[in-house]
Structure 1
């Protein structure tokens, strides 16, 4: 079972990954100072797991939907202009 999916787009930014790990270890420090070692160990374990998944085994995915990767509008061919309407014998356009 995987609790953190490192392929999720939310984890592509480095600051997000750092913040998640820092919050987990920061909360462990708060629990140690507060005198509750059980919750300190649990939050430190969550921080260690987050570090493992988000840094140790993390493989950045190339941005597929990036605007820079999209072709320029100038490179695309413009659609052909519609043919001019020719008037019929009675003077109305077809």
Structure 2
């Protein structure tokens, strides 16, 4: 089964990119709440929380010699 985000893609290797994605999602969620759109606010806040969990808590960088065996 494919994951929603491929954590081993080289794009997500730098920490600043992962943090920036989380900040954009959470920031957009806050913006939507301020603009009185609770549905979109909840959606983007939940997406930001999911990204924070996946990119910060569950992130395991792939070693140089490790091959993908899926």
Q: TM-score range by the shorter chain?
A: 0.7 to 0.9
Larger Rg: 1
Q: Which runs of 4+ in 1 moved over 2 A?
A: none
Over residues 57-81 of structure 1, what are the superposed CA-to-partner deviations in whole Å (9 max), with x where a residue is unaligned?
Answer: 10012346xxxxxxxxxxxxxxxxx
Higher helix share: 2
Aligned to 2:18: 17
| TM norm structure 1 | 0.63
Structure 2 unaligned blocks of 5 or more: 66-70
How many residues were matched structurally?
A: 64
- Per-residue deviation, 1:18: 0.3
Q: Distance in 1 between matches of 2:39 and 2:63?
A: 40
Aligned to 1:57: 58
Aligned to 1:79: none
Aligned: 1:43 with 2:39: no
| TM norm structure 2 | 0.83
Structure 1 unaligned blocks of 5 or more: 65-94
Over residues 9-29 of structure 1, what are the superposed CA-to-partner deviations in whole Å (9 max), with x where a residue is unaligned?
Answer: 111000000000000000001
Aligned to 1:70: none
